Amino acid sequence: MGTEVYIAGVGVISAIGNDVAEHLDSFEQEIAGMGDITQLETIHRQKLPVAEVKLTNEQLVKMTGLPAHVSRTALLSLVAAKEALADAAIPAMEQWRTGFISANTVSGMDKTEGFFVPFLADDNKGRLRYVFDHECGSMTEIVADELGITDVITTISTACSSSANAIAYGARLIRNGQIDIAVAGGTDALSKFTLNGFNTLMILDKEYCRPFDEHRAGLNMGEGAGYLVLISEKVAAVLGKAPYCKLAGYTNSNDAFHQTASSPDGTGSYLAMTGALQKSGLDASDIDYINLHGTGTPNNDSSEGTAISRIFGPLYPPMSSTKSYTGHTLGASGGIEAVFSVLSIKHGIIYPNLRFETPMADLPLIPQTKFLKGQKIDHVMSNSFGFGGNCTSLIFSRT
């Protein structure tokens, strides 16, 4: 049905860089973004490593021109979305119908948490404007206003598959002729709620995370934002340059197993990957690189690994978890890793899975551990699996 969906621009900010160029540099030099907590006010400082964006809120406010009370989630979003649009450089953009499909899970919660400190001490205290942007849609609206996008504005929040679903939804709007351009992806800032919540679930590694390693002990929280500019064939025809690649397939599925855990046999991830392959008309053997969900939790990696072995075994494509660099950026991860997947095709890059030493005992999976470039990469699969069993796989293909 409908038009092909091409990727015209990419933008990203995370713990390993404030733009695409800085990310490519960090990847090549194998510099991970984790470290002691410096931005977030929390009792976990010096105890839990996180992957923070290396900019203060003040610096982000200065960069974006947004008011000082705006949530870090929106600040990160605007930086990456602006980069993606500038990169796409679509001529006479106002003649097209454009959507902003942005995912997040924490929204303005960073500010709400600040509000509650004085408010709980004295309910006459606390500035209500810090609660105003608590709900997820607020972030999208703030950024859409800055970008001047008015045709379709919507927010998707499906835990850690959120921004992969935003990209799939943006593509569907284009394929169905509802819009011509979609800025799609997601954003999430660190917050006390998410850090404490994941800590409660006992799935945070006190060391730097070790995705797909037998001795993995959990994830590291991260933050950031990543967006793609998706365009229709008509827009591609006047782009004035070749698009990066196309979005060849996408599928969202659900495990229906547990609130926070994936099923042991990876039912949801199996359905997402096989569905995306089917939609793209590709065989498993066509995939040249898998950007894993690979959080580093015992549960995710064995579940995802089991599903991968069912689909790809015994001949596995190169695979890695870039969360070994960026930490787990929750609602932003699907967008950030979609950017990495597009860049993988563009530059022939296979990203290293840092700190991998010992394969999982019962799975024959060895992730890529060294940075490779100049590889021939035509098809990349990007996995994003979330709480609630919400699983999404995207496939990007060279055009």
Partner 1 sequence: MANKIIFENQQDKRINLADQNYITASCKIENGLVEKDGRNLFTHAGDVGSLLLAAYQHFRLSYPKFHKMDRLSKLGWLATEVLLMDSFEQGKYEPEDISVILANASSSLDDDLKYYDSVAEAASPSLFVYTLPNIVIGEICIRNHFKGEQAFFIQGNFQSEFIQQQAAYLLANNCTKCCVCGWVDILGEEYKCVLFLVEKIKKGNAALFSAVNMDEIFNSTAK
Q: Compose the 158-187 pattern: x for residues touching partner 1 by CB under 8 A, - for all others.
A: --------------------xx--------
Q: Name the DSSP letter for residue 341.
A: H
Active site residue 136: no
- Of the candidate spans 43-51, 128-136, 194-202, 210-218, the one that interacts with partner 1 by CB under 8 A turns out to be 194-202
Tell me phi and psi for residue 362, to 5 degrees. -105, 10
**Residue 18 vs 253, nearer CB to partner 1:** 253
Nearer to partner 1, 201 or 239 (CB): 201
Q: Looking only at residues 41 through 100 of this chain, which bind partner 1 when binding is defined by CB under 8 A?
A: 94, 97
Q: Least separation, in Å, of the C-beta of 355 and partner 1?
A: 25
Name the one range near partner 1 by CB under 8 A: 115-123, 149-157, 294-302, 316-324: 149-157
Task: State the DSSP H helix or E strand holding residue 103, giving kind and residue range, or none if neither.
Answer: strand 98-103
How many chain residues touch partner 1 (CB under 8 A)?
20
Q: For the chain, where are the alpha helices, taking DSSP H only? A: 20-29, 57-64, 72-88, 109-121, 136-147, 162-175, 192-200, 233-237, 267-280, 298-312, 323-326, 333-347
Other Cβ atoms closer than 10 A to 61:
17
In the complex, what is the shortest distance from the CB of residue 259 to partner 1, in angstroms, rounded to a whole number? 4
- Which one is catalytic: 23, 44, 328, 379? 328
Cβ nearer to partner 1, comparing 124 with 259: 259
Cα dihedral 244, 181, 389, 278 in deg (nearest 10): -60
CB 159 within 8 A of CB 387: yes
Catalytic residue among 160, 209, 245, 391: 160
Q: Which is nearer to partner 1, 150 or 278 (CB)?
A: 150
CB of 265 to partner 1, least distance (A): 15
Residue 134 exposed, middle or buried by CB count within 10 Å (0-12, 13-18, 19+):
middle
Q: In the complex, what is the shortest distance from the CB of residue 24 to partner 1, in angstroms, rounded to a whole number?
A: 35
Other C-beta atoms lying within 10 Å of the C-beta of residue 275: 18
Tokens of 310: 């069912």
Which H, E and C letters describe 256-302, residue by residue?
A: CCCCCCCCCCCHHHHHHHHHHHHHHCCCHHHCCEEECCCCCCHHHHH
Give the DSSP per-residue string, 204-248: B-SSS--TTBTT---B-BB-EEEEEEEE-HHHHHTSSS--SEEEE
Candidates 136-144, 198-206, 241-249, 342-350 — which segment interacts with partner 1 by CB under 8 A?
198-206
Q: Which residues, 218 to 277, sit near partner 1 by CB under 8 A?
A: 254, 256-260
Nearer to partner 1, 260 or 274 (CB): 260
Q: Is 54 exposed, middle or buried (0-12, 13-18, 19+ CB in 10 A)?
A: middle
Binding residue for partner 1, selected from 68, 200, 237, 376, defined by CB under 8 A: 200
Give me the least distance between CB of 192 and partner 1, in Å please: 12
- Name which of 187, 177, 183, 115 is nearest 157 in CA terms: 187
Torsion of CA 296, 299, 302, 304, to 10 degrees: -80
Catalytic status, residue 160: yes
| Both tokens assigned to 271 | 């359905």
Compute the least distance from the CB of residue 200 to partner 1, in Å. 4
Structure tokens at 221: 């929280």
Among 22, 113, 145, 151, binds partner 1 (CB under 8 A): 151
Nearer to partner 1, 56 or 176 (CB): 176
DSSP summary character for residue 35: B
Query: Based on CB atoms, which residue is closest to partner 1, 257 or 371?
Result: 257
Among the listed residues 202, 237, 315, 361, the single contact to partner 1 using CB under 8 A: 202
Q: Which member of 61, 201, 363, 372 binds partner 1 (CB under 8 A)? A: 201
Please, what is the minimum distance in Å from the beta carbon of residue 199 to partner 1?
7
> What residues act catalytically?
160, 293, 328
Residues in touch with partner 1 (CB under 8 A): 94, 97, 150-152, 178-179, 196-197, 199-202, 254, 256-260, 388
